[in-house]
Amino acid sequence: MKLLLSAFACEPGLGSEEGVGWNMAVEAAREHQVWVLTRGFCAGTIEPYVAKNPIPNLQFIYFEPFGWSEDWKGRQGLLIVHYYLWQIWAYFVARKWHQKIQFDLARHVTYVRYWNPSFLALLPIPFIWGPVGGGESAPAPFWRDFNFRGKVYEAMRDTARWLGEHDPFVGLTARRAAIALASTEQTAVKLRRLGAKRVEVTTAIALSTAEIDTLAQAPPPPPGPMRFLSVGRLIHWKGLHLSLQAFAAANIPTAEYWIIGDGVERSRLEQLAQTLGIGQRVRFWGLLPRGEVLAKMGECHALIHPSLHESGGFVCAEMMAAGRPVICLNWGGPGVQVTPETGILIEAHNPPQVIEDLAIALEQVAKAPDHWGEAGYERVRSHFSWETKGQYFNQLYGQLICFHGRGASQFG
């Protein structure tokens, strides 16, 4: 098949959205001819990589609205405007290339926000939207623990989603999608409300076979205290204020809690640890290179990931691949990845309930930290490898072509 992918974020060797865009494109190119619409900014990393590591069947089409090729770090407002303009521009670039190539399918890959449109849906061929996410919200009872900055952030995020949901082009994207893929159940509800006819839940999170094999070779944690780990940005919705209170409440006197990452909440969390009387057993490592993060994972027994709204959660898959249990909320992306066989899922009703249930979970894991190991590795290998994702999407492409016909859609 001849596939056209829209991947605003797409760079080799990175995680997050850039890694999703890159790996989705590479896996599709194993079976099909693939053209990727992406930012001119990304050419700086893509072109040197493919010059050394040619990838057959994969071509990149670079462009930027008005030639604005920047990373926009620290300028979120300008990035939002730039992204929307890029999506409009992408349609005209795609239409020109479609006249020449006659693509069989179009697919939007990144960004993964459900409240932003993809104008590729206007092309006269079957269109796949996603996986997209962002439908998760921190339940209202948890807002009371957020500081002013956190509450403003949540209010602005809710406003942005509301505006997006009332953008007629977002609704058009949903209605014209042959299939809309949601990374979480919460986002699936949003997509159905927008008018998507066929919605399936599948996360965009995956690891390479090499990463899975490397993580699987991690030796058991060294002798010593029980060590719990959290990895991520130290921001309010990551929920670490909840896990610190749970760690203090758990009856595990010799346990340690390691926290890797940095962010605006770090000083508040450090003060909370001191107030709770666990400052000597909680270690804030700050930002670390990926190699050191993986090494620290190997030294710990379990992951605590109490995120209140997250479509992904790469660290959950990484820890499961390393044979470590994951303790997380049954909410958003982690709630899709983790099962009772690979960790402990905590319902998210209100802060006291979550803190109490997290404390109980910590005690359970401390008594039998090896109980979930093998199941975690097997789940990642069978459900969250990029190769498995590639096979899933290749089957999906074939189904859509069989149903709609090659090179034309029901909208043609």
d(CA 166, CA 169): 9
Same domain for 74 and 200? yes
User: Are the C-beta atoms of 294 and 313 separated by less than 8 Å?
Assistant: no
Same domain for 179 and 147? yes
- When the pLDDT of each residue in the chain is averaged and rounded to a whole number, the result is 90
* Domain that includes residue 145, residue range: 2-206+385-404
pLDDT in tens, 167-220: 999 999 999 999 999 998 899 999 999 999 999 998 888 888 888 888 888 888
Same domain for 238 and 310? yes
Q: What would the DSSP string read from start to end of 351-402? A: HHHHHHHHHHHHHHHHH-TTTTHHHHHHHHHHHSBHHHHHHHHHHHHHHHHH
State pTM to two decimals. 0.87
d(CA 363, CA 247): 9
CA proximity to 109, closest of 3, 2, 9, 1:
9
Q: To which residue do tokens 């982690």 refer? A: 334
Helix axes 168-176, 148-165, angle to 10 degrees: 60
Residues in the chain: 412
User: Are the C-beta atoms of 147 and 236 separated by less than 8 Å?
Assistant: yes
CA proximity to 11, closest of 31, 27, 26, 30:
26
The reply to whether 412 falls in a domain is no
User: Are the C-beta atoms of 309 and 238 separated by less than 8 Å?
Assistant: no
Same domain for 95 and 139? yes
The reply to whether 410 falls in a domain is no
Give kind and range of the element (H or E) at residue 95: helix 76-101
pLDDT (tens place) for every residue of the chain, 412 residues total: 999 999 999 999 877 789 899 999 999 999 999 999 999 999 999 999 999 999 999 999 999 987 776 666 656 667 888 899 999 999 999 999 999 999 999 999 999 899 999 999 999 999 999 899 999 988 899 999 998 999 999 999 999 999 999 999 999 999 999 999 999 889 999 999 999 999 999 888 888 888 888 888 888 888 888 999 999 999 999 999 999 999 999 989 889 999 999 999 999 999 999 999 999 999 999 999 888 888 898 899 999 999 998 877 888 999 999 989 999 999 888 888 899 999 999 999 999 999 999 999 999 999 888 887 778 888 988 888 898 888 899 889 988 887 766 544 444 4
Same domain for 282 and 397? no
**Sign of the C-alpha dihedral computed for residues 115, 235, 240 and 157 taken in this order:** negative
SS3 19: helix
The CATH number linked to 361 is: 3.40.50.2000
**Sign of the C-alpha dihedral computed for residues 353, 300, 211 and 285 taken in this order:** positive
What's the structural domain count of the chain?
2
CA proximity to 307, closest of 344, 286, 335:
335
Same domain for 138 and 239? no
The reply to whether 274 falls in a domain is yes
Residue 300 carries which DSSP code? -
d(CA 313, CA 203): 10
Residue 141 carries which DSSP code? G
The reply to whether 202 falls in a domain is yes
Same domain for 353 and 298? yes
